[in-house]
């Protein structure tokens, strides 16, 4: 009798426990798949990071390190001013992204500014390409209440606008080089870079209209067969929703044009930083020289987006183009490295803020789970 009673009391517990094992197994497999996928995506960035570190080591090591250090020391308290000089650029870039949302679903300006700040901070501190930074700011804006499809669609159009603005930025640099009597070959190279960027944008737009998110979701479902059919169907539905949102945004080309102009204005605002640093290190240059130097180095850095943060690419560009602005390679390197210092000053609080946002999001998810989960029997703890 006792044995029968024990067996009958254990049976319900066993029936309650049985469904748990498959769910844990599926989750573990999904995590493994996501880790493998993340590793695959991270390899180009890792290679770019290694190449960038090697480049910056060679570029700095072959120059007078003492002269570079002395120039950086001359900036002094100016490092605290540089974040303020950078703020107009961040504001313009944030509005250039925000304007791409549909009017009735457009986030608040401060929400977009925060997401842009966090994305740029992440690419400064983490081995991420600009695509990784875009994914982070889409996540931040979605956590603030934007629909996932709207956030993804806005990022795709923002990438298009940024690439077009980068092509125009390269042309601005070419015009600046010609205006200061620089090397015609450099101006021709900048124009050629602008043409290549424009061709790349045209191809990207074609892919967008064919459904980049839907194609990606279906491809991901094929390479991750251990994911349940229900979840893969959700991915496909989400991808199709994002593709529809992208096509809807393209029906108002005026927004894309305004975004391009705001991104270009954001780049132009960075000229102030170069001009100020050159003044502080005792190598004052004109506004046109600062414009040409920033435009050309910025265009090259943006084009080689596979290198996280343009590490090494920016420094090599400053050295190669220093003569166009009448600077020595050491002073040009000091300008570039001082700009890196500003990036760190802006990015550190941005990373801290990002961790706070993620902590709040995790707390909300746990709270939702605890409210929706059935009560656990005492014997199951």
Q: Rounded to an integer, what is the distance from CA 222 to the centroid of its chain?
A: 27
Q: Sign of the C-alpha dihedral, residues 261, 266, 269, 270?
A: negative
How many other CB atoms sit within 10 Å of the CB of residue 378?
Answer: 6
- Residue 380 falls within a domain, yes or no? no
Domain count across the chain: 1
Enumerate residue ranges in the chain where pLDDT < 50.
1-41, 376-381
- Residue 7 falls within a domain, yes or no? no
User: Is the CB of residue 353 less than 8 Å from the CB of residue 117?
Assistant: yes
Burial of 236 (0-12, 13-18, 19+ CB in 10 A): middle
- The residues, any chain, with a CB within 8 Å of residue 359's CB and separated by 6 or more, are none
pLDDT at 56: 63
pLDDT at 252: 87
Domain residue limits at 83: 38-367
- How does DSSP classify residue 377? P
pLDDT at 37: 34
**What would the pLDDT profile of 50-85 be if each residue is shown by its tens digit?**
766 666 666 666 667 888 889 999 999 999 999 999
- Residue 229 falls within a domain, yes or no? yes
pLDDT at 128: 77
- The residues, any chain, with a CB within 8 Å of residue 378's CB and separated by 6 or more, are none
- Residue 84 falls within a domain, yes or no? yes
User: Is the CB of residue 267 less than 8 Å from the CB of residue 165?
Assistant: yes
d(CA 294, CA 314): 10
pLDDT at 230: 64
- Residue 239 falls within a domain, yes or no? yes
- Residue 50 falls within a domain, yes or no? yes
- Residue 378 falls within a domain, yes or no? no
d(CA 136, CA 119): 6
Q: Which of 98, 67, 63, 22 is nearest to 258 (CA)?
A: 98
What average pLDDT is seen over the chain? 81
Calculate ∠ Cα 101-107-113, nearest 5°: 105
- Residue 101 falls within a domain, yes or no? yes
User: Is the CB of residue 305 less than 8 Å from the CB of residue 166?
Assistant: no
């Amino acid at each position: 009798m006792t044995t029968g009673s024990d067996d009958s009391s254990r049976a319900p517990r066993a029936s309650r426990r049985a469904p748990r094992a498959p769910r844990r197994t599926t989750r573990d497999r999904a995590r493994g798949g996501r880790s493998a996928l993340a590793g695959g995506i991270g390899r180009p960035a890792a290679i770019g990071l290694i190449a960038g570190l090697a480049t910056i080591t060679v570029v700095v090591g072959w120059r007078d390190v003492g002269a570079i250090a002395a120039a950086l020391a001359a900036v002094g308290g100016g490092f605290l001013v540089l974040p303020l000089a950078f703020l107009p650029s961040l504001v313009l870039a944030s509005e250039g992204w925000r304007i791409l949302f549909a009017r009735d679903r457009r986030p608040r300006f401060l929400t977009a500014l925060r997401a842009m700040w966090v994305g740029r901070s992440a690419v400064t501190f983490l081995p991420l390409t600009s695509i990784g930074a875009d994914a982070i700011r889409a996540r931040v804006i979605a956590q603030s209440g934007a629909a996932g499809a709207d956030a993804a669609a806005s990022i795709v159009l923002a990438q298009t606008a940024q690439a077009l603005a980068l092509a125009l930025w390269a042309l601005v640099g070419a015009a600046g080089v010609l205006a200061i009597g620089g090397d015609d070959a450099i101006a021709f190279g900048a124009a050629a870079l602008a043409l290549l960027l424009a061709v790349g944008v045209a191809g990207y737009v074609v892919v967008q209209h064919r459904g980049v998110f839907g194609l990606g979701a279906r491809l991901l479902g094929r390479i991750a067969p251990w994911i349940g059919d229900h979840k893969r169907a959700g991915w496909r539905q989400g991808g199709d929703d994002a593709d529809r949102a992208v096509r809807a945004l393209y029906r108002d080309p005026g927004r894309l044009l305004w975004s391009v102009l705001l991104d270009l204005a954001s780049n132009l605002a960075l000229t102030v930083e170069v001009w100020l640093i050159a003044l502080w290190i005792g190598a004052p240059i004109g506004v046109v020289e600062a414009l040409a130097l920033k435009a050309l180095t910025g265009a090259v850095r943006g084009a080689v987006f596979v290198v996280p943060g343009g590490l090494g690419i920016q420094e090599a560009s400053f050295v190669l183009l220093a003569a166009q602005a009448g600077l020595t390679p050491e002073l040009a390197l000091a300008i570039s490295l001082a700009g890196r210092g500003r990036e760190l000053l802006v990015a550190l609080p941005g990373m801290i803020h990002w961790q706070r946002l993620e902590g709040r999001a995790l707390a909300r998810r746990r709270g939702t789970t605890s409210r929706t989960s059935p009560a656990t029997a005492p014997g199951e703890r």
